[in-house]
Structure 1
Amino acid sequence: MQTIDFTEFQRIDLRIGTIIRAEVFAKTKKPAYKIWVDLGTLGIKKSSAQITFHYKPEDLLGRQVLCVCNFPPKQIADFMSEVLVTGFDDGSGQIVLASVDKNVPNGSKLY
């Protein structure tokens, strides 16, 4: 594993947000959702997420998720993904969302 120093870690803007909207993203090659995340003072940001195995759109509403907020936006089909919603491989290649065990204010930064 390659190591990084703490200043490199600090450059990654990891913040918590609440999913306020989710819908099937029919135009992708792999199954995905369009997701809108309330990131507090950063506003509402969009993301495309391949998390259809473990989650249905209606189950995502109100869930807090950890997002990388300082990647450049990425065009995916006709949708501009503005943040990366993070998660972990469940051991079979499917993603389980990274979250918190207690609600915190939207936009809170990971330290």
Structure 2
Amino acid sequence: MQTIDFIDFQKVEIRIGTIIEALDFPEAKKPAYKLKIDLGPLGIKKSSAQITDLYEKDDLIGRQVICICNFKPRQIANFMSEVLVTGFSDEGGAIILASSDQPVPNGSKLH
């Protein structure tokens, strides 16, 4: 594993937001949802997330997720993904969303 300096970590905008919309994304190469995430003072951001194995769209609404907010936007099929929703792979490769164990204000930064 490569090590980084603390200053490098400080450059990454890791923030929490609440999913306010989840839609099917049939144009994506791999199964995914199109998400809209309320990141508080950063506004509403869009993300493509390959989380269809373990999550239904309706169950995602209101869920807080940890996002990387300062990557360059990425074109995925006909959709511009603005933030990266984070998660961990389970033993089968399905993504388990990273979140907080208690609610925090949207846009809060990870320390």
2:101 aligned partner, one-letter code: D
Structure 1's consecutive aligned runs of 4 or more residues displaced over 3 angstroms after TM superposition are none
In structure 1, runs of 5+ residues without a counterpart are: none
- Pairwise CA distance, 1:40: 0.2
- Pairwise CA distance, 1:82: 0.2
Task: For 1:104 and 1:64, locate their aligned partners in 2 and report how far apart those are by CA, in whole Å.
Answer: 8
Task: For 2:10 and 2:18, locate their aligned partners in 1 and report how far apart those are by CA, in whole Å.
Answer: 22
Q: How does 1:1-80 map to 2 (within 5 A)?
A: 1-80=1-80
1:10 aligned partner, one-letter code: Q
In structure 2, runs of 5+ residues without a counterpart are: none
* Count of aligned pairs: 111
Let me know the Cα RMSD of the aligned residues.
0.5
Q: Deviations over 1:11-43 (max 9, x none)?
A: 100000000000110101110000000000000
- Pairwise CA distance, 1:91: 1.6
2:37 aligned partner, one-letter code: V
- Pairwise CA distance, 1:92: 1.2
What percent of counterpart residues are identical?
Answer: 68
Q: TM-score if structure 1 supplies the norm length? A: 0.99
